Amino acid sequence: MKKLVIVFAFFLLAGCLPQANRITQTSTIDALLSGIYDGQTSCRQMLTYGDFGIGTFDKLDGEMAILNGKIYQIKSDGKVYAPSSDIKTPFATVCKFIPDSQFELKTVNFKTAESIIDEKFPNQNQFLAIKITGTFKHIKLRSVPAQKKPYPPLVEVSKTQPVFEMNDVFGTIVGFRTPPFAKGVNVTGCHFHFLSKDFTQGGHVLDFKLADGNCQIDKCNEWLLILPKNDLLQNIDLSKDKTTELRKVEK
């Protein structure tokens, strides 16, 4: 009987552990673009799906970066906060980060780093979790301020987004390369957030110049999508192509 209980407890626990090679996301990028900023999934729950990731918070209150199982909130003042695990997120993507390979990156910017990654990982129909650690000669970041109802669409918010630029900073880029077929559901291509080594500064990465660093890649072949249990997405039309809006918001 005791053995049975132990075996049962093991499977129960295993069921709660994050799966390797699985990307888990809550809601969709087009829902966020449409102004669905009310949080649906708690930070605590997101951490059951992974220890690495990016996203935003309830009411669009800043950028989220998850590194080594800890969630960081970069608010519109550019500073990094430790959010309560009860705070909910309207959009986030996580995974259990177990790198399959790593390589050095020297004197690259966002574009050249992206092409090096594409060259090394030419299968565009595969999700990649990407971690770049190193010294950044320059990095351009942004965050977003918390919004009030009625929520404006993201493209309106991003017109007045605070932008931060830093020179000679050591830190880590956390992010994903998402396949083109996931258009409308997640941000296709590379989407990066940044945290300085001392966890005082960060944000959504607009551009960077990396002096010297290391890139780790985790290839992921499973994709779990969590949609809100309530009818939050009921009254929005998610059938339209929002590529132009997304480009304005991300870059």
Which of 77, 100 has the CB closer to Zn ion? 77
Choose which of 131, 140, 204, 242 interacts with Zn ion (CB under 5 A). Answer: 204
Nearer to Zn ion by Cβ, of 18 and 202: the residue is 202
Nearest to Zn ion of 57, 97 (CB atom): 57
Residues linked to residue 112 through DSSP beta bridges, in sequence order: none
Cα gap 219→25, rounded to integer Å:
16
Query: Minimum CB separation from Zn ion for residue 231, in Å?
Result: 26
Which region, judged by CB under 5 A, interacts with Zn ion, from 5-13, 145-153, 200-208, 225-233? 200-208
Cβ-closest position to Zn ion: 204
Beta 92-95 vs 101-109: how paired, if at all? Answer: unpaired
DSSP code string of 104-142: EEEEEEHHHHHHHHHHH---TTSEEEEEEEEEEEEEEEE
- The site map against Zn ion for 144-163 (x = CB under 5 A) is --------------------
Q: How far is the CB of 106 from Zn ion (least distance, A)?
A: 25
Is residue 177 part of the contact set for Zn ion (CB under 5 A)? no
| 75 makes contact with Zn ion (CB under 5 A) | no
Whether 54 contacts 97, CB under 8 Å? no
Runs of H (alpha helix) within the chain:
2-16, 29-33, 43-49, 110-120, 154-157, 243-250
Give how far the C-alpha of residue 186 lies from the chain's centroid of Cα atoms, to the nearest Å.
10
Q: Which stretch binds Zn ion (CB under 5 A): 8-16, 68-76, 202-210, 232-240?
A: 202-210
Q: Tell me, what amino acid is at 234? A: Q
Distance CA 35, CA 238 (A): 12
**142 in contact with Zn ion (CB under 5 A):** no
Window of 8-16, 166-174, 204-212, 221-229 that interacts with Zn ion by CB under 5 A? 204-212
Q: Which residues bind Zn ion (CB under 5 A)?
A: 204
